[in-house]
Amino acid sequence: AQKITQTQPGMFVQEKEAVTLDCTYDTSDQSYGLFWYKQPSSGEMIFLIYQGSYDEQNATEGRYSLNFQKARKSANLVISASQLGDSAMYFCAYIRQGGSEKLVFGKGTKLTVNP
Amino acid sequence: KAGVTQTPRYLIKTRGQQVTLSCSPISGHRSVSWYQQTPGQGLQFLFEYFSETQRNKGNFPGRFSGRQFSNSRSEMNVSTLELGDSALYLCASTLDRVAHGYTFGSGTRLTVV
């Protein structure tokens, strides 16, 4: 079974600085996708960014970018110019494409942005 | 456009009772998935429905069940509630193309006392 590891239970960053949230995955699948979601205290999971295993370029969405290193099986999220509203839980999730389409989540990282 | 709507937002039930949670997906989305989130186990997949058929099921006891209607709305039911069923239950819908991502609702927070 696939395993997603987020080694940072909590991270702190100063407003306007960049921060990297780590995610590694363990799989033997050839075709898969990786997501990052943000969960504020309200509970809703907000989609941030997606990377497919065959995508040649790293995904970017505004201030979010995904540092995808396939050989190392890592998919780190980079948030540039942090804002106070970025304080939340962040989850990395894996999905096997072409098979059972269920998301497998990591344990999450709690990000706190300090003013 | 309207997002994924889950009702109710909060629920308090007594052990042994049953509960039904509702999820209305984004218009046009035919795939609806359910996840349970607890502090101890994190986010775990419950089941997925597509065009009224259960397509995938997680490792949960038979007390957890669900269904999907012809308008893609989905319900999940938990019978004989246990204290350990207290959790945030999240519903997600998708156009059935992974790259579009899964859109989640705000969840139903169930407390079993």
Predicted confidence pLDDT, tens digits, chain A (115 residues): 789 999 999 999 999 999 999 999 999 999 899 999 999 998 999 999 999 999 889 999 999 999 999 999 999 999 999 999 999 999 999 998 876 678 999 999 999 999 9
Distance from CA of A92 to the nearest CA of B (A): 11
Rounded Cα gap, residues A19 and A9, in angstroms? 14
Rounded Cα gap, residues B106 and B8, in angstroms? 10
Other Cβ atoms within 10 Å of A68 Cβ, number:
20
Question: pLDDT tens-digit profile of B72-90?
Answer: 999 999 999 999 999 999 9
Which among B88, B90, B102 has the least Cβ separation from residue A47? B102
**Sequence-ordered strand ranges (E) for B25-63:** 31-38, 42-50, 53-57
Do the bridges between strand A88-96 and strand A32-39 make them parallel or antiparallel, or are there none, so unpaired?
antiparallel
Rounded Cα gap, residues B41 and B93, in angstroms? 22
Return the bridge partners of B87, or none: B110
Interface test with B, best of A36, A38, A44 (most B CBs within 10 A): A44
B100 in helix, strand or coil? helix
